[in-house]
C-alpha cells in the first residue's frame, strides 16, 4: 500500500520527535517517497540533517527562507498523504481552529489529502477539555487519529500520552490511502476465544490470544478492504478496521451473522466454545456450597450458519487441533467451507499466544497444503493470496491427503 506513495511527515516540538526518525525509516522501507516538514521547536529534539539522510531530501522548517516561494503548498500538492508525528497539543489546537503560523500547520491546512495525526504529550495536557474538544473537532473534520498510548513520558512520568508505535502509525498511513487489491471489498474476521459465564466471575474459555485473527484483519485492511473484526481479544487500531467487541459465542454469532450479509470474504479465526453453561448463576458461587453442577448445552454453530446462507461470503474456517489434522479435513467437508486453515496447537511455534504458526490448508476436495512455520502476519498475507487465486477460479493446488 505504501510502495511508490508520496508521504509528507510533519514533526512538531515534543520529546517524542526523536521517534519520527524511525517512522521516516519505516515509511521508506515500505517503499514510500518521504519528505519532511518540521516546526522550529522540533529541530531542538531531532536534527534536520538526520531526516535528510533518511529521506534523501532536506526538511522544510521555515515558510519564508526556502528557495521555494510557497513550500507549504508545494508539499501539500505533492503528498498522497500527510502524517504528523508527534502532534503536540499546540499543533492539534492550530489545526482544529485553522491557524497556520508554522510550516507544519500551513502544509496540513493547504492539503486535500488524507491526514493522520499521532498525538503525544503529558497526560494532563491530553486530558484537558480543550484538547479533547480539539480532537473531537479534528475527527469530525476527517482527520485520522492514532494513539496516544499509555507508557513512559518525559521527566519520568507514566500515563496516557505516549506516541503510538511508529509501525502502527505507518499502518495507519497505509490505511487512509485508497487502492489495494481488496479495495471495495468487505472482509469479516473473527478473533480470540469466547468466554461462557458460569457465574459473574467465572467462565469457560480457552487460550486463544486473537493474534491470528488480528493479523488477518490488518493484512486485509492493508490491501484496501473495509474490515469488520468481531473479537473477544485486544484489537489492532487501523482506519479500515471496525472492531465489534463480544464475549460469548452467542454474542459473536449475532454479530457475525449480521455483518456477513454485506461481506465478500469471511475468515473465522476465533476459537469459539462448543458448549456453554445452560443456566449461569446470577451471583458468585461459594466454596462452602460444594462443587456446583454445571450443565452444558451447545453454542450456536457460527460457521455452519454462515455456510447455510443463501448468499454467503467466500468462507474460510479455522481448526485448532492437537496432533492429527484428520478431524480438520472432516470439518472442512462437513461445514462446506471454501477453505479451512488447520494447525496443531501442541506443535512448537504454533501454540496459543505464539507469534508464529505452522498451518495446513484444507481445500474443498479434501486435499491439503502444508505450509512451513512463519509469522502469523506472513500466514495472513499468504492466506489472502491463496484466497484470491481460489476466488478467481484459479488452480486449487494441494496434494491428496
206 in active site: yes
Catalytic residue among 206, 214, 343, 357: 206
Residue pair 20/51 in contact by the 8 Å Cβ criterion? yes
How many CA atoms within 13 Å lie on the side-chain side of 273?
25
Distance CA 308, CA 304 (A): 6
Positive or negative: CA dihedral 61, 67, 72, 77: negative
C-alpha cell of residue 357: 504458526
C-alpha 373: how far from chain center: 22
* Longest Cα–Cα distance in the chain: 82
Q: What single-letter DSSP state applies at residue 368?
A: E
Question: Across the beta sheet with 6-11, what order do the strands follow?
Answer: 33-38, 6-11, 81-87, 115-119, 144-145
Helix and strand numbers, DSSP H then E, in the chain: 13, 21
Question: What's 133-169 look like in SS3?
Answer: HHHHHHHHCCCEECCCEEEECHHHCEEEEECCCHHHH
Positive or negative: CA dihedral 7, 8, 14, 20: positive
Length of the chain counted residue by residue? 401
Query: Which residues form the catalytic set?
Result: 206
Amino acid at each position: 500500500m505504501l510502495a511508490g506513495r508520496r508521504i509528507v511527515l510533519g514533526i512538531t516540538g515534543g520529546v517524542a520527535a526523536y521517534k519520527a526518525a524511525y517512522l521516516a525509516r519505516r515509511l521508506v522501507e515500505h517503499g514510500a517517497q518521504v519528505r519532511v516538514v518540521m516546526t522550529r521547536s522540533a529541530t531542538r529534539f531531532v536534527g534536520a540533517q538526520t531526516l535528510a539522510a533518511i529521506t534523501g531530501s532536506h526538511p522544510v522548517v521555515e515558510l519564508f527562507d526556502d528557495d521555494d516561494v510557497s513550500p507549504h503548498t508545494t508539499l501539500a500538492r505533492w503528498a498522497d498523504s500527510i502524517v504528523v508525528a508527534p502532534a503536540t497539543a499546540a499543533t492539534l489546537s492550530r489545526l482544529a481552529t485553522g491557524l497556520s503560523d508554522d510550516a507544519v500547520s500551513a502544509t496540513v491546512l493547504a492539503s486535500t489529502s488524507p491526514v493522520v495525526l499521532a498525538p503525544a504529550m503529558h497526560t494532563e495536557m491530553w486530558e484537558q477539555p480543550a484538547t479533547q474538544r480539539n480532537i473531537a473537532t479534528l475527527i469530525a473534520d476527517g482527520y485520522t487519529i492514532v494513539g496516544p498510548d499509555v507508557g513512559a513520558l518525559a521527566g519520568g512520568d507514566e500515563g496516557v500520552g505516549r506516541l503510538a508505535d511508529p509501525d502502527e502509525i505507518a499502518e495507519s498511513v497505509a490505511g487512509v490511502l485508497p487502492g489495494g487489491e481488496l479495495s471495495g471489498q468487505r472482509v469479516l474476521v473473527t478473533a480470540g476465544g469466547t468466554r461462557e459465564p458460569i457465574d459473574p466471575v467465572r467462565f469457560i474459555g480457552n487460550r486463544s490470544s486473537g493474534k491470528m485473527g488480528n493479523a488477518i484483519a490488518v493484512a486485509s485492511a492493508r490491501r484496501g478492504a473495509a474490515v469488520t473484526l468481531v473479537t473477544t481479544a485486544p484489537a489492532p487500531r487501523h482506519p479500515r478496521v471496525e472492531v465489534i467487541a463480544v464475549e460469548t459465542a452467542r454474542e459473536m454469532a449475532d454479530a457475525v451473522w449480521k455483518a456477513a450479509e454485506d461481506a465478500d470474504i469471511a475468515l473465522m479465526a476465533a476459537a469459539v466454545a462448543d458448549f456453554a453453561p445452560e443456566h449461569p448463576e446470577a451471583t458468585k458461587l461459594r466454596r462452602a456450597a460444594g462443587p456446583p453442577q454445571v450443565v452444558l448445552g451447545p453454542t450456536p454453530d457460527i460457521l455452519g450458519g454462515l455456510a447455510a446462507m443463501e448468499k454467503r461470503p467466500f468462507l474460510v474456517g479455522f481448526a485448532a487441533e492437537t496432533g492429527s489434522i484428520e478431524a480438520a479435513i472432516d470439518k472442512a467437508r462437513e461445514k462446506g467451507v471454501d477453505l479451512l486453515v488447520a494447525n496443531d496447537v501442541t506443535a512448537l511455534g504454533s501454540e496459543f499466544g505464539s507469534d508464529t504458526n505452522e498451518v495446513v490448508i484444507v481445500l474443498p476436495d479434501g486435499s491439503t497444503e502444508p505450509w512451513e512455520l512463519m509469522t502469523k502476519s506472513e500466514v495472513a498475507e499468504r492466506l489472502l493470496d491463496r484466497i484470491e487465486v481460489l476466488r478467481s477460479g484459479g488452480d486449487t493446488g494441494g496434494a491428496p491427503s
